[in-house]
Structure 1
Amino acid sequence: MIHNNTERVQKLEKLLVEKKFTADEKLFYPGAPSEEVRATCEQAMNIVIQALIDTPEAGITEIEFWSLLEKAATVYKQFDSEEMERGLSYMEEIMDIYDIESSDGRLNTWRYGFDPANSH
Protein backbone atom coordinates (compact mmCIF):
# COMPACT_ATOMS: atom_id res chain seq x y z
CA MET A 1 0.00 0.00 0.00
CA ILE A 2 1.08 3.54 -0.71
CA HIS A 3 0.36 6.02 2.06
CA ASN A 4 0.63 9.76 2.52
CA ASN A 5 2.30 11.55 5.36
CA THR A 6 2.56 15.26 6.12
CA GLU A 7 5.84 15.67 4.24
CA ARG A 8 4.54 13.92 1.12
CA VAL A 9 1.34 15.97 1.07
CA GLN A 10 3.35 19.19 1.44
CA LYS A 11 5.60 18.23 -1.49
CA LEU A 12 2.59 17.26 -3.61
CA GLU A 13 0.83 20.53 -2.77
CA LYS A 14 3.95 22.47 -3.79
CA LEU A 15 4.09 20.55 -7.08
CA LEU A 16 0.34 21.08 -7.62
CA VAL A 17 0.58 24.89 -7.60
CA GLU A 18 3.69 24.97 -9.80
CA LYS A 19 3.15 26.13 -13.38
CA LYS A 20 4.01 23.10 -15.48
CA PHE A 21 5.22 22.45 -19.03
CA THR A 22 7.09 25.74 -19.25
CA ALA A 23 10.63 25.94 -20.62
CA ASP A 24 13.23 24.27 -18.41
CA GLU A 25 16.83 24.62 -19.57
CA LYS A 26 18.13 22.06 -17.04
CA LEU A 27 15.93 19.42 -18.67
CA PHE A 28 16.46 20.80 -22.20
CA TYR A 29 12.69 21.21 -22.39
CA PRO A 30 11.65 24.10 -24.67
CA GLY A 31 8.17 24.43 -23.17
CA ALA A 32 4.86 23.37 -24.67
CA PRO A 33 4.29 24.56 -28.24
CA SER A 34 1.17 26.53 -27.27
CA GLU A 35 -0.67 27.69 -24.17
CA GLU A 36 -3.50 25.31 -25.02
CA VAL A 37 -1.15 22.30 -25.05
CA ARG A 38 0.60 23.51 -21.89
CA ALA A 39 -2.71 23.90 -20.05
CA THR A 40 -3.99 20.49 -21.17
CA CYS A 41 -0.77 18.76 -20.10
CA GLU A 42 -0.71 20.64 -16.80
CA GLN A 43 -4.33 19.73 -16.08
CA ALA A 44 -3.62 16.03 -16.67
CA MET A 45 -0.72 16.12 -14.20
CA ASN A 46 -2.65 18.19 -11.66
CA ILE A 47 -5.50 15.65 -11.69
CA VAL A 48 -2.97 12.95 -10.75
CA ILE A 49 -1.39 15.09 -8.04
CA GLN A 50 -4.75 16.05 -6.54
CA ALA A 51 -5.87 12.41 -6.52
CA LEU A 52 -2.67 11.51 -4.65
CA ILE A 53 -3.20 14.34 -2.16
CA ASP A 54 -6.75 13.02 -1.61
CA THR A 55 -5.50 9.47 -0.98
CA PRO A 56 -7.60 7.89 1.78
CA GLU A 57 -5.90 7.31 5.11
CA ALA A 58 -5.85 3.58 4.38
CA GLY A 59 -3.70 4.31 1.32
CA ILE A 60 -3.90 3.09 -2.25
CA THR A 61 -2.49 0.00 -3.89
CA GLU A 62 0.48 0.12 -6.23
CA ILE A 63 -1.89 -0.80 -9.06
CA GLU A 64 -4.05 2.23 -8.26
CA PHE A 65 -0.95 4.46 -8.07
CA TRP A 66 0.34 3.37 -11.48
CA SER A 67 -3.14 3.59 -13.01
CA LEU A 68 -3.32 7.24 -12.00
CA LEU A 69 0.01 8.00 -13.64
CA GLU A 70 -0.89 6.01 -16.74
CA LYS A 71 -4.00 8.16 -17.29
CA ALA A 72 -1.77 11.23 -17.57
CA ALA A 73 0.66 9.39 -19.87
CA THR A 74 -2.27 8.60 -22.16
CA VAL A 75 -2.97 12.33 -22.48
CA TYR A 76 0.67 13.07 -23.34
CA LYS A 77 0.68 10.50 -26.17
CA GLN A 78 -1.39 12.87 -28.31
CA PHE A 79 1.30 15.56 -28.19
CA ASP A 80 4.96 15.90 -29.18
CA SER A 81 7.49 13.59 -27.61
CA GLU A 82 8.83 16.54 -25.60
CA GLU A 83 5.55 16.77 -23.67
CA MET A 84 5.65 13.04 -22.93
CA GLU A 85 9.25 13.36 -21.72
CA ARG A 86 8.37 16.32 -19.49
CA GLY A 87 5.29 14.55 -18.16
CA LEU A 88 7.40 11.52 -17.29
CA SER A 89 9.86 13.76 -15.46
CA TYR A 90 6.98 15.02 -13.30
CA MET A 91 6.06 11.39 -12.65
CA GLU A 92 9.64 10.73 -11.56
CA GLU A 93 9.31 13.63 -9.10
CA ILE A 94 6.17 11.99 -7.73
CA MET A 95 7.97 8.66 -7.49
CA ASP A 96 10.72 10.41 -5.51
CA ILE A 97 8.13 11.88 -3.14
CA TYR A 98 6.90 8.35 -2.44
CA ASP A 99 10.42 6.84 -2.35
CA ILE A 100 9.58 4.61 -5.32
CA GLU A 101 12.87 3.75 -6.98
CA SER A 102 11.64 1.99 -10.11
CA SER A 103 8.62 2.04 -12.36
CA ASP A 104 9.45 -1.55 -13.38
CA GLY A 105 9.60 -0.40 -16.99
CA ARG A 106 6.26 1.42 -17.00
CA LEU A 107 7.69 4.84 -17.86
CA ASN A 108 9.67 3.38 -20.77
CA THR A 109 6.62 1.47 -21.98
CA TRP A 110 4.49 4.61 -21.90
CA ARG A 111 7.21 6.59 -23.69
CA TYR A 112 8.40 4.08 -26.28
CA GLY A 113 5.63 1.47 -26.39
CA PHE A 114 8.00 -1.09 -24.85
CA ASP A 115 10.68 -1.30 -22.17
CA PRO A 116 14.08 -1.12 -23.92
CA ALA A 117 15.65 -2.79 -20.87
CA ASN A 118 13.76 -5.98 -21.75
CA SER A 119 14.43 -6.02 -25.50
CA HIS A 120 17.62 -8.06 -25.82
Structure 2
Amino acid sequence: MPHQAAAECLSRLMGQDHFAVDPATIYTGVHDPRERLAMNARFDRALAALRDAARDGATPRTCLDLIDRHLAGFARVELDTEDAERVAECFEMAMDCLGIESSEGVLNRWLYGFDL
Protein backbone atom coordinates (compact mmCIF):
# COMPACT_ATOMS: atom_id res chain seq x y z
CA MET A 1 0.00 0.00 0.00
CA PRO A 2 1.39 3.48 -0.79
CA HIS A 3 2.75 5.26 2.26
CA GLN A 4 0.16 8.05 2.30
CA ALA A 5 -2.75 5.62 1.96
CA ALA A 6 -1.36 3.52 4.81
CA ALA A 7 -0.97 6.61 6.99
CA GLU A 8 -4.56 7.67 6.23
CA CYS A 9 -5.90 4.19 7.00
CA LEU A 10 -4.07 4.18 10.36
CA SER A 11 -5.36 7.67 11.14
CA ARG A 12 -8.95 6.49 10.57
CA LEU A 13 -8.43 3.78 13.22
CA MET A 14 -7.30 6.34 15.79
CA GLY A 15 -9.78 7.65 18.34
CA GLN A 16 -12.12 4.68 18.11
CA ASP A 17 -13.22 2.65 21.11
CA HIS A 18 -11.63 -0.64 20.05
CA PHE A 19 -12.28 -2.27 23.42
CA ALA A 20 -16.01 -1.60 23.75
CA VAL A 21 -18.68 -4.27 23.39
CA ASP A 22 -18.85 -5.34 19.75
CA PRO A 23 -22.41 -6.45 18.91
CA ALA A 24 -21.22 -7.82 15.54
CA THR A 25 -19.08 -10.40 17.39
CA ILE A 26 -19.07 -12.20 20.72
CA TYR A 27 -16.59 -9.66 22.16
CA THR A 28 -17.98 -8.29 25.43
CA GLY A 29 -15.47 -5.45 25.82
CA VAL A 30 -13.23 -4.29 28.63
CA HIS A 31 -15.64 -3.67 31.49
CA ASP A 32 -13.55 -1.29 33.61
CA PRO A 33 -13.96 2.13 31.93
CA ARG A 34 -10.58 3.39 33.16
CA GLU A 35 -8.78 0.33 31.81
CA ARG A 36 -10.67 0.54 28.52
CA LEU A 37 -9.65 4.20 28.16
CA ALA A 38 -6.03 3.31 28.95
CA MET A 39 -5.99 0.46 26.43
CA ASN A 40 -7.44 2.67 23.71
CA ALA A 41 -4.84 5.35 24.49
CA ARG A 42 -2.05 2.73 24.27
CA PHE A 43 -3.35 1.50 20.93
CA ASP A 44 -3.71 5.06 19.61
CA ARG A 45 -0.05 5.71 20.53
CA ALA A 46 0.92 2.61 18.56
CA LEU A 47 -1.19 3.76 15.61
CA ALA A 48 0.44 7.20 15.70
CA ALA A 49 3.92 5.66 15.70
CA LEU A 50 2.99 3.35 12.82
CA ARG A 51 1.38 6.22 10.90
CA ASP A 52 4.53 8.32 11.26
CA ALA A 53 6.69 5.36 10.24
CA ALA A 54 4.49 4.76 7.18
CA ARG A 55 4.78 8.42 6.18
CA ASP A 56 8.56 8.08 6.48
CA GLY A 57 8.52 5.03 4.20
CA ALA A 58 9.35 2.45 6.88
CA THR A 59 9.91 -1.14 5.83
CA PRO A 60 7.52 -3.90 6.94
CA ARG A 61 10.24 -5.14 9.32
CA THR A 62 10.50 -1.72 10.95
CA CYS A 63 6.72 -1.63 11.34
CA LEU A 64 6.70 -5.11 12.90
CA ASP A 65 9.41 -3.99 15.34
CA LEU A 66 7.19 -1.04 16.29
CA ILE A 67 4.22 -3.36 16.75
CA ASP A 68 6.33 -5.64 18.95
CA ARG A 69 7.48 -2.69 21.06
CA HIS A 70 3.94 -1.34 21.47
CA LEU A 71 2.48 -4.77 22.24
CA ALA A 72 4.83 -4.89 25.22
CA GLY A 73 2.81 -2.00 26.66
CA PHE A 74 -0.16 -4.34 27.00
CA ALA A 75 0.46 -6.61 30.00
CA ARG A 76 -0.59 -9.93 28.49
CA VAL A 77 -0.62 -11.73 31.84
CA GLU A 78 -3.15 -9.21 33.18
CA LEU A 79 -5.60 -9.60 30.28
CA ASP A 80 -8.16 -12.33 29.93
CA THR A 81 -8.00 -14.31 26.69
CA GLU A 82 -10.87 -12.41 25.06
CA ASP A 83 -9.25 -9.00 25.65
CA ALA A 84 -5.80 -10.25 24.62
CA GLU A 85 -7.23 -11.61 21.39
CA ARG A 86 -8.89 -8.23 20.80
CA VAL A 87 -5.51 -6.48 21.22
CA ALA A 88 -4.05 -8.84 18.61
CA GLU A 89 -7.01 -8.17 16.29
CA CYS A 90 -6.44 -4.43 16.63
CA PHE A 91 -2.82 -4.81 15.62
CA GLU A 92 -3.93 -7.01 12.71
CA MET A 93 -6.12 -4.10 11.54
CA ALA A 94 -3.06 -1.86 11.66
CA MET A 95 -1.09 -4.44 9.69
CA ASP A 96 -3.88 -4.49 7.08
CA CYS A 97 -3.51 -0.72 6.70
CA LEU A 98 0.22 -1.21 6.17
CA GLY A 99 -0.25 -4.07 3.72
CA ILE A 100 1.61 -6.48 6.00
CA GLU A 101 0.16 -9.99 5.69
CA SER A 102 2.15 -11.77 8.41
CA SER A 103 3.37 -10.61 11.80
CA GLU A 104 6.24 -13.12 11.43
CA GLY A 105 5.35 -14.51 14.85
CA VAL A 106 5.17 -11.17 16.68
CA LEU A 107 1.47 -11.49 17.55
CA ASN A 108 1.65 -15.19 18.45
CA ARG A 109 4.65 -14.67 20.73
CA TRP A 110 2.81 -11.91 22.58
CA LEU A 111 -0.53 -13.72 22.69
CA TYR A 112 0.61 -17.29 23.43
CA GLY A 113 4.22 -16.94 24.53
CA PHE A 114 5.53 -18.76 21.45
CA ASP A 115 5.21 -18.71 17.67
CA LEU A 116 2.78 -21.34 16.43
Task: Report what 1:42 is aligned to.
Answer: 40
Describe the superposition over 1:94-117 as per-residue Cα deviations: whole angstroms up to 9, x where unpaired. Answer: 11111111112221111000122x
Structure having greater relative contact order (Cα 8 Å, sep ≥ 6) = 2
Amino acid at match of 1:107: L
Partner SS for 2:20: coil
1:67, distance to aligned residue in structure 2 (A):
2.5
Task: Report what 1:4 is aligned to.
Answer: 3
Task: Report what 1:31 is aligned to.
Answer: 29
Q: Check if 1:102 corresponds to 2:96.
A: no
Describe the superposition over 1:57-100 as per-residue Cα deviations: whole angstroms up to 9, x where unpaired. Answer: 54224343122212332214132222211111111111111111
* Shift >6 Å, 4+ stretches: none
Task: Report what 2:60 is aligned to.
Answer: 62
Select between 69-78 and 44-53 the one with higher mean Cα deviation: 69-78
Select between 99-108 and 41-50 the one with higher mean Cα deviation: 99-108
Once superposed, what is the RMSD of the aligned Cα atoms? 2.1
Separation of aligned partners in 2, 1:9 and 1:57: 6
TM-score (norm 2): 0.83
Structure 1 pair 56–31 and aligned structure 2 pair: CA distance change class (3 A) = closer
**Which protein is bigger by CA-based radius of gyration?**
1
How many residues in Structure 1 have an aligned counterpart in Structure 2? 114
Gaps of 5+ in 2: none
